Amino acid sequence: MIIMSTKDEIVFALKEAKEQYVSGEELAKKLSLSRTAVWKHIETLKQDGYIIESSSRIGYLLKSSPDLMFPAEIQFGLQTKHFGRKIYYFSKVDSTNNKAKELVFAGAPEGSLVIAEEQVGGRGRLGRSWFSPPGGIWFSLVLRPQIVPGDILKVTMMAGIAGVEVIKEMVGLEPRIKWPNDLLIKGKKLVGILTEMETEADRIHSVILGMGINANIAWRDFPPHLKETATSMQAQLGKNVDRCRILRALLAKLEIGYAQLRSGGFSTIRNSWMEHSDTLGSQVKVETVNGAIKGKAVDISSEGALILELDSGETKAVWSGDLITLG
């Protein structure tokens, strides 16, 4: 079941009418509202950027939707059971991960989605900030997996693969994955993933899967310090993409991957991750909390750790850190 506001329900009804007029009376009946209330909602939708033709005789016709990630825009045509069925939309927020964390404690169900047009305190891995102007796809998904904390990396890897596949299918770009989970195009970052969890003893209470996709951000709008290391779909393709369509496909792919993980199927994800890896086979340096380790990235363990072959011939598993490719 999709949980929607009345405004979203009106958008849905207008979209379902497929460019035909829907009478005010029909809308009022369907949503148990007065005709005046319907009219008021239509006026708000117009202020939101919807182009709706109104005729007192035949009703309302949706001509076009604004380029915003309103819940109704994401949910119309969404083919998931749980992911994105409840959406918390913000035009501006500090960080969708922070919001999702608040919602988790307020009891938000699995699959709840927090989405923002813009983040003013977007967070990246390792305490970094994440540039999140309007035009990107900034979202966090609430998960409540029955797994042990050590398995969290698998969730992130699954999300990375889902991202690669959807971006390839939807926009024709083929990102490579830099360990642990940066999606790169020609060595520049297109997508970042920040997975955070709340644990109770040795059980995971909840996981917040946060993804940031540099979609419709013009290259000139990146701050100078990111121009060398980041990219966007806009910069790569020279045109804007349909963000809602991409997110819909991603939610469907994430739901499938998540079900696969829950039934113990990490090996397919691991194989796919290895196939798209930009890291395996390279000499790397990983800055970990226990210091830097250098070696050749040779494998991913069955738990998702990166396996390094050191100069001594010894192998070492690395669980988290900042990776630099040396060659």
* Residues engaged in binding ligand BTN (CB under 6 A): 95-97, 119, 122-125, 128, 130, 132, 138-140, 182, 192-194, 210-212
Distances (CA, A) of 88 to 99, 129, 142: 9, 22, 11
In this complex, which beta carbon is closest to ligand BTN, that of residue 212 or of residue 295? 212
Minimum separation from the CB atom of position 109 to ligand BTN (A): 19
Minimum separation from the CB atom of position 136 to ligand BTN (A): 7
Looking from the CA of 27 toward its CB, the CA atoms found within 13 Å total 30
In this complex, which beta carbon is closest to ligand BTN, that of residue 240 or of residue 320? 320
- What are the start-end ranges of the H helices in 125-276? 152-171, 224-227, 233-237, 243-262, 266-275
Minimum separation from the CB atom of position 77 to ligand BTN (A): 23
Cα separation, 69 vs 246, in Å, equals 11
Tokens of 193: 């993933």
In this complex, which beta carbon is closest to ligand BTN, that of residue 181 or of residue 236? 181
Residues 6+ apart with CB under 8 A from 60: 14, 21, 22, 23, 24, 27, 42, 52, 53, 54
In this complex, which beta carbon is closest to ligand BTN, that of residue 119 or of residue 272? 119
Minimum separation from the CB atom of position 189 to ligand BTN (A): 7
Residue 152: phi, psi to the nearest 5? Answer: -65, -35
Q: Scanning the structure block, which residue is given the tokens 């998540």?
A: 258
In this complex, which beta carbon is closest to ligand BTN, that of residue 73 or of residue 182? 182
Minimum separation from the CB atom of position 229 to ligand BTN (A): 11
Cα separation, 34 vs 29, in Å, equals 8
